[in-house]
Structure 1
Amino acid sequence: MKKLYAILGITMLMSVAANAQETTWSGNIRDIVERKCNSCHGAESAPEYQLFKREKDTWLAKGQGMRMDSYSHLVSFVGWPNTGALMRRLDDGKSSKEGKAGNMHQYLGATEEERQKNLTIFKAWVGNWSLKRWPDSTKEELNGIKVKY
């Protein structure tokens, strides 16, 4: 009986430890977005995606991107309908054939060390870090996306 309790106790501790280290929007990603992204992608400065798309040149001339300041906004650039867009923009080039970093990678931090740290957190949150667009993504690749709240 003591062995059973010991096994149950160890299993529970391992479960708690695994959940404590889980990367989530509310526990990890929101803070990075607030610090590094909201000046160009926040509610006060950025339009909804469809408005940005319709008036892209105007918004880009202002140095603004589309709104990505909430979980629901950001997830659409990971999964669907804009599959892989977040990954293509934040990637450091190690996942691309050309080896070129995404256009938003530079904003992940003031130093390469900080950028790599934040990129690692984003990769853990996304799960399946793929630069592929919707039509090129397989069901298995899409199922590998985590993006937990």
Structure 2
Amino acid sequence: MKNAPVILVTGALAFALAPLHAEEVTYIEHVQPLFEAQCAGCHGVNAPYVGDFDQDEDHYVEMGIGPRMDSYADLIMFVVYPDTGALMRRLDDGSSHPEGKPGNMYEHLGADGDERQRNLAVFKAWVGDDAWNLERWGDITKQQLDRLELAY
């Protein structure tokens, strides 16, 4: 049985990821608490809406504040439209980037590499299997959009 190592590794990976996929990953149960713990300090209720942020980005960046993302509707804007893929580009660990470069917000997903990977896995599961991509609106395909799950 020369495929035994492959089968064992595949089974081990499936078992390790089972907790995230055993139940549907939702915004309310999984993403919102993670967002509040890791992201709300800069992207919460005191942050400007994306239009206001875009008008005076340098000012807000200097203050250490990003655009507001503290609701499902606000966060979806950074996944689907108008800032398609921005959430994925910013949180990616580098595994989806051609140069292996992590996004500028990846480091804020946790105190260490293990915590960041666990938290990234939650965001990836919420976005959907095979839906995590770094494409912008003009480059994303209908097939890629169809893979998005984003359960509330």
Provide the TM-score with structure 1 as the length reference.
0.86
- Counterpart of 2:67 in structure 1 is 66
1:103-118 matched pairs, under 5 angstroms:
103-118=104-119
CA distance in structure 1 between the partners assigned to 2:25 and 2:107 by the alignment: 22
- Counterpart of 1:84 in structure 2 is 85
The question of 1:75 aligning with 2:76 is answered: yes
Q: Which string of whole-angstrom CA distances, capped at 9 and with x for unpartnered residues, describes residues 31-52 of structure 1?
A: 0000000000001x21000000
Q: Which string of whole-angstrom CA distances, capped at 9 and with x for unpartnered residues, describes residues 81-108 of structure 1?
A: 1110000000000000010000000000
- Counterpart of 1:32 in structure 2 is 34
- Counterpart of 1:11 in structure 2 is none
CA distance in structure 2 between the partners assigned to 1:30 and 1:22 by the alignment: 14
Q: Is the 8 A contact 2:21 2:125 kept in 1?
A: no
- Counterpart of 1:141 in structure 2 is 144
CA distance in structure 2 between the partners assigned to 1:113 and 1:20 by the alignment: 21
CA distance in structure 2 between the partners assigned to 1:68 and 1:85 by the alignment: 12
Secondary structure of the structure 1 residue equivalent to 2:104: coil
List structure 1 segments (4+ residues) > 3 angstroms apart after TM superposition: none
CA distance in structure 2 between the partners assigned to 1:50 and 1:19 by the alignment: 35
Percent of matched pairs sharing the same residue: 49
- The one-letter amino acid paired with 2:146 is N
- Counterpart of 1:12 in structure 2 is none
Larger Rg: 1
| CA RMSD, 1 decimal | 1.6
Cα deviation for residue 20 of structure 1 reads 6.0
- The one-letter amino acid paired with 2:51 is Q
Secondary structure of the structure 2 residue equivalent to 1:58: helix
- Counterpart of 1:47 in structure 2 is 48
- The count of aligned residue pairs is 132
Unaligned runs of 5+ in 1: 1-17
Unaligned runs of 5+ in 2: 1-19
